Chain A
């Protein structure tokens, strides 16, 4: 396509304003840090250190607003400001910068005291779990999309598996041996319920090929109509494996938030206590 496509809405994705904003802020922070090292000590309780701490706390608060937006959106998106994507971007870059500032605030040392220790550990955990989640969100969708031909809604998988099993049983009931035996012994047990298996992380087909070998071997000795019956059965089997793959891989997409969200909330509370204690004592 020539001249027209440029006129259209298609654009290669360039850096977003939020990305550019964070690049500048990070550069500025780095400059301040260099000045700090040249001009003064790296301590939490001097002006420089307090600046890093206050900046980190502000970012923490802003990052946590993503959760507020998502919750508000659930009861009315009339109150959800701007598109969701800039919020998420702000969260990712802001969260990463928070980690950097927290380390600068602590002077790249392990802090002393229980509260400070907890703050440090939780901050580290929240940011690192955030990075893990970010990675999962990038990697798993690609894996699911390129490796599987079906797309399925996680919550619907159990009911769909029941449906598949029902159809397989119907199919088997009209078959004779050896398909009947093969179906009852090898296929039906697999169709019992959604089965998350680690293997899908490495082989998205879930070891389908070895089962297919067995099936092809069996198929060679069958007349044409029975071959068709076996094929039908195997296509149900393949669909079930694809669903298991979705079940296995979509699950961490949901579960990782449980590693991230609660600690981030505790972190927020501890930071408030930390700030109050610093100013009062």
Chain B
């Protein structure tokens, strides 16, 4: 899916081509399934037509009008593929009629060593370099690397369905799927195929988040599905619960709470009564501790990691020792203290593992206070978006001769216009130029009216198709890292342009780093630096190592 054409022949001004292409992609929805398999399609539905679907019945008219642009309805023919394992899908599907079959093929058995998880492992290293934490990311293993070229990025899958390899399941009317991968920004772990001609409501992430927040019934429904389909699979790969008996796991399934956090939401606050242990399901959470006048970041958690274990273990600590805040949208599993104690009684081995985790956490907090610079670095990393980055361009200013060959090479490979500027945040000797990070959760994709900006495939490169970009600046305004620049094309929109509002106006196009993915070469900025000062990093560990003036293979 998302098989966008790669030839970049630009339509001459006034030509109908762009209109045709916009017609072809008339919405970003139909690009799911590579424009094949859709029999009928409608979008921008009225409130009354939305209300005919069960999933929208709980909502008031004003709310439905607001989310309508993010909803479409499509009838798919038999055997159409909605997504395959490893695909990024930023929407959830609700089955109105028909059947969708879900299968699980690619992930090898549980013992397959993962090749290089991108972030969690590194973060683990930052925390305490404790092997136990590593086990927490076991099931987020690499599932697919499309080619050995440097511009593909290894990635981890979300667990939407806990299915054994080769097995499948069928979903019928009234079922919702795809939401776990969509909301967490991780690739799908299963393949979805339309089993008989089916009508599906397709809901994009922003609408889904709003809907979940607005309706406790939907939240309960999504949560119940998550508990049923994936919770156990996620818990089973954590060191805490990996060897637990089924009875314990069932008890756990019943008793946990699922929490959805918006960015910057306080999950627990230092000094308040501690009452649970938490697992990060998706997103990022930072842990802060009071330190002299202010607060200091001591740790940074991503998917599969726990917090709250220290307070749970040491009975003298009845209050939180840290504050936990979501850095972005995050999904958290809360295991209440009473339930946890019950589980420990049933399976005492849990406590041992917990002690080890607590020891590494305490060490880490102490370490942060001793090494304020490292803590500041982590803070910078979080705020400069490094933790979001799948591919981060950094320049070592100690060796960079300011020759600008990197910028020239980028321009030369991109029609004379460089996709980044050699300016940006600086940390010690490292400059982080304004170049796309190819974020794990690319907020720039949200709201593009034509779907011109997208992840081009499983390699996680976020790219803009300038043939269908209408230059509205939505992506440039959404990107937190100023990685997208709007360029005038020197032409105006033709008189028969749709949307009509654009007719006769100057035509702009959004431009950003595409990791040189169209060139068939490694990133030109890196390979053309004569002093190897320009590097692309894929992990926090590489960043810290660089700060410590070690060198990293680019």
Contacts and interface: CB of A to CB of B under 8 A. Distances in A.
Contacts of B526: 83
Interface stretch (B9-17, B41-49, B265-273, B399-407): B399-407
A151 B531 contact: no
Given A73-B405, A74-B412, A151-B426, A1 B129 contact: yes
B551 interface: yes
Contacts of B401: 137, 140-141, 253
Given A3-B131, A73-B412, A250-B402, 13 more contacts: A1-B129, A10-B550, A11-B551, A70-B405, A73-B405, A77-B524, A77-B528, A80-B527, A83-B532, A137-B401, A141-B398, A141-B399, A253-B403
B529 A145 contact: no
Interface string A37-78: 000000000000000000000000000000000100111111
B383 interface: no
B505 interface: no
A73 B404 CA distance: 12
A8 interface: yes
B125 interface: yes
B385 interface: no
Q: How large is the interface on B (under 10, 10 to 19, 20 to 34, 35 or more residues)?
A: 35 or more
A84 B409 CA distance: 11
A9 B398 contact: no
B20 interface: no
B548 to A, nearest CB: 9
B519 interface: yes
Most B-side CB within 10 Å, residue of A73, A142, A145, A151: A151
A10 B545 CA distance: 7
Interface string B10-37: 0000000000000000000000000000
Contacts of B54: none
B397 A77 contact: no
Contact of B528 (A9, A80, A137): A80
Contacts of A13: 551
A192 B455 CA distance: 47
14 contacts: A3-B129, A11-B552, A75-B412, A77-B524, A77-B528, A83-B528, A84-B527, A84-B528, A85-B529, A85-B530, A140-B401, A141-B399, A144-B397, A152-B423
The 4 A-B pairs of least Cβ separation, nearest first, read A88-B530, A145-B397, A84-B530, A77-B409
Given A84-B529, A145-B429, A149-B426, A5 B402 contact: no
B416 to A, nearest CB: 9
A150 B426 contact: yes
B524 A85 contact: no
Interface of A: 1-5, 8-13, 70, 73-78, 80, 82-85, 87-88, 137, 140-142, 144-146, 149-154, 156, 250, 253
Contacts of A77: 409, 412-413, 519, 521, 524, 527-528
B250 interface: no
Contacts of B125: 1, 4-5
Contacts of B524: 77
B253 interface: no
Given A77-B413, A153-B422, A84 B553 contact: no
Nearest to A75: B412
B364 interface: no
B551 A12 contact: yes
B541 interface: yes
Contacts of B121: 4
Nearest to A84: B530
B397 A151 contact: yes
A253 B403 CA distance: 8
Contacts of B100: none
A2 B550 CA distance: 15
A87 B530 contact: yes
Nearest to B395: A151
Interface in B508-554: 519, 521, 524, 526-532, 541-542, 545, 550-553
Given A73-B412, A78-B519, A141 B541 contact: no
A141 to B, nearest CB: 6
Contact of B531 (A5, A76, A88, A140): A88
B552 A9 contact: yes
A9 to B, nearest CB: 5
A77 B398 CA distance: 25
A74 B404 CA distance: 11
Contacts of B467: none
B408 to A, nearest CB: 5
Contacts of B528: 73, 77, 80, 83-84
A80 B409 contact: yes
A74 B423 contact: no
B192 interface: no
B431 interface: yes
* Max count, chain B CB within 10 A of own CB: residue among A12, A73, A76, A87: A73
A232 B103 CA distance: 63
A40 B16 CA distance: 80
B551 A10 contact: yes
B412 A137 contact: no
Contacts of A150: 426
B438 to A, nearest CB: 18
A83 to B, nearest CB: 5
A235 B431 CA distance: 22
A153 B407 CA distance: 12
Interface in B124-169: 125, 129, 131, 134
Contacts of B531: 85, 88, 137
Contacts of A250: 402
A72 B542 CA distance: 32
